[in-house]
Amino acid sequence: MEQMLQMTYLWLKAGHIIFVIFWMAGLFMLPRFFVYHQEATPGSPENAVWVEREARLRRIILMPSLIVVWIFGLTLAYSTGAFHQGWFHAKLLLVVLLSGYHGWLVAYAKKLARGERPFTGKRLRLLNEVPGLAAALIVVLAVVKPF
């Protein structure tokens, strides 16, 4: 029985890591899409292509990955007793903030689809660094468990 639980844990952990990679890839791609989308004229055929690309990225990669990351991550945390550890609280906070960033990206994509362009390409390029910084901190917390 213990061996079966150990294998389940390892499969959950592998799945969690795989879907984190997918989610992060999407979080890196979407702001880059926004930079190119903003250069298209609102209402143009090129604009419509970017709207569709962004929607597919959100629908096929980002949202499913986000859901699986949360399900596997919370299951792993419960099975290991991580809810009682300080490093996990910090990691969870960062994942909540990253999920909020994901939500903000979805809202920004809808603004672009309506023809609104509130940010410059430069600001979007800077915002593209958010997931990388968050991922680095989350990995350190999960691997090193500093507290």
Binding residues for heme, by number, are 16, 91
- What does the DSSP assignment read for 12-27? HHHHHHHHHHHHHHHH
Separation CA 56–CA 61 (nearest Å): 8
Q: Are 27 and 55 in contact (CB under 8 A)?
A: no
Binding-site residues, please? Answer: 16, 91
Separation CA 17–CA 10 (nearest Å): 11
Separation CA 63–CA 66 (nearest Å): 5
Q: Are 53 and 95 in contact (CB under 8 A)?
A: no
